[in-house]
Amino acid sequence: MDANSDNAQAWLSHETLIVTPIPPRRATGFCGRRRVMLLIMQRRHFVPTLALGSLGSALARAQSTDRAHGRSMVIARGGIVSTSQVLASQAGAMILDKGGSAVDAAISANAVLGVVEPMMCGIGGDLFVMYREAATGKITGLNASGPAPRAMTIEVLKAKGLTKMDSTGIHSATVPGTVRGWEAMHRRYGKLPWNKLFDTSIHLATDGFPMQEMVGRVWESALVRKDAEGVRVFYPNGKAPEIGEMYRNPDLGRAMKLIATGGADAFYKGEIATAILGKSAKLGGLMAAADLATFEPEWVTPISTVYRGWRVHELPPNGQGLAALSMLNILENFDAAPPFSSTEFHRKIEAMKLAYADLKFVGDTRTVKVPTAGMISKPYAAQRAKLIKPEEANCAVQPGAPPMSSDTTYFSVVDRDGNIASWIQSVSGLWASGVTVDGMGFHLHNRGGGFSFDPSAANALAPGKRPFHTIIPAIMQKDDLHIGFGIMSGANQPLAHAQFVSYIADHGMNLQAALDAPRFTKGRATGCEVTIESRAGLDTLRELSSKGHQITIAQPYSARMGRGNAVMHNAKTKVNSAASDPRADGSAIPQPE
């Protein structure tokens, strides 16, 4: 069933809102003065509502053990690894137990994620890291996103018959930056020997692992089936593995062994590089040996703003992290509204549109001038905040004039000393380019698919240029509290970051409550369509509809909202805390005491 075609009508019945199908002719109706459509994500769907009658009295007498979120935080004196897959969290925790640093644990966990969650991440993708060094308090950033091949120009691709960038296929693949990024982080912050970080990923790839629930639901892909090598690797016996079924990828296990023994050079100059170049040439790609051999990641200085006393750090462009800071700056012009209220959601949705409209200015800062400081300045945010109408959604948001001045896997690790690795790694779209490297068990990312053929665009394709990136890690700090966090899923990330920060800064939620709390998502600045989890409540959804928001109601815990993880170090008590999003298969796992 196409979830977006299931039209529905909702009504209140005792303590639940029951959503049932109605004929298509009755799909649109009027709510207040505005015409809206409520699209329900599944036919059977039950939503908790606000208290009615005697139920309200009962809730008022709620015990102190009651809470709105489903899980407890993980709290420990030792290090904690929080990822979207339990096996990856476990691998990282074992590295911490062996005396490894937060970075050692992150590399091990990331390698495992590439095995068990290959449609989201892997050695064929890019990497961004934000790292807090406990001893100095310094926060450092690493941009390990690879550029377009030197031979790739707009003119060359047009000569091949393209009228715009391919979103998948060999021309969407830029240089994968992940493995060089691992190497750079390990050289600076690692403790254990490099080759000890890949034991678990090699074991799981070679000997197999049981297919996990959420990734098992998205393993089947028409894109993968376009490549015979992809079918051979990912669909043994011609079909996607069932949930709970053992799956092996011995080719990826061999690639991991090559990286473990030969370092990053095995990927960029050795046998893996030869395989990448061979596959590219077979498909008419433009990748050359020099594109791989000369790639180096860039150490960068994070950008930041202060929101309600919390300093929030993001990485600078070519990523979209500044949109999260811009959104928070806009929201700070309003007093905090009650959590999950229509007022709160309305302001956040409208602030998101204003912040995202300005992403048109973002590109690779080595080739274009991005008004980063202007876009995240408080005076500019105050100007943009005046455009938010309290009772009306803006369906046609335009970019501002900022002053010119000087689907992804996120996880986080905190070690016993309080060092924090806020780590995000991605192959971009689900199953990426769809191009599986022969004999190596992994596919190339499709981040280059976002390039523009418009030479005047900030993200215009150019040889050796890095594409606009959606993946963003973050760190927020206040007094003795230091939080590494991220929430993945493409364009969703900045708006999800801002919601997470708000739930902590505005409403005093703990890490797990802030990750669990109902969220909205929206893929673009224009238009009034928005998707909101049903837990926002009937009254909130009705009031948002009356303001002109065109709402799609998602399931209570929808992966469309992104899958987040967070860790926190209390520098005063030396205690660590962590949380993992219930929208994924993961968990936060502490090192054994």
Query: 7-28, pLDDT tens digit by residue?
Result: 222 222 222 232 322 233 333 3
Give dist(CA 430, CA 266) in Å, integer: 26
- Per residue in 230-259, pLDDT tens? 999 999 989 999 999 999 999 999 999 999
- Per residue in 145-204, pLDDT tens? 999 999 999 999 999 999 999 999 999 999 999 999 999 999 999 999 999 999 999 999
Query: Alpha helices of 358-507 — where are they, by DSSP H?
Result: 372-375, 378-385, 492-505
| Phi, psi at 196, each rounded to 5° | -85, -5
Length of the chain: 593
pLDDT at position 64, please? Answer: 63
The reply to whether 436 belongs to the active site is no
Whether residue 138 has pLDDT greater than 70: yes
Whether residue 3 has pLDDT greater than 60: no
List the catalytic residue out of 408, 409, 436, 470: 408
- Amino acid identity of residue 557, one-letter, is Y
Whether residue 532 contacts residue 520, with contact meaning beta carbons closer than 8 Å, is answered with yes
For the entire predicted model, the pTM comes to: 0.89
3-state SS of 217-286 is HCCCCCCHHHCHHHHHHHCHHHCCCCCCCEECCHHHHHHHHHHHHHCCHHHHCCHHHHHHHHHHHHCCCC
pLDDT at position 404, please? Answer: 61
Beta pairing class for 8-13 and 16-21: antiparallel
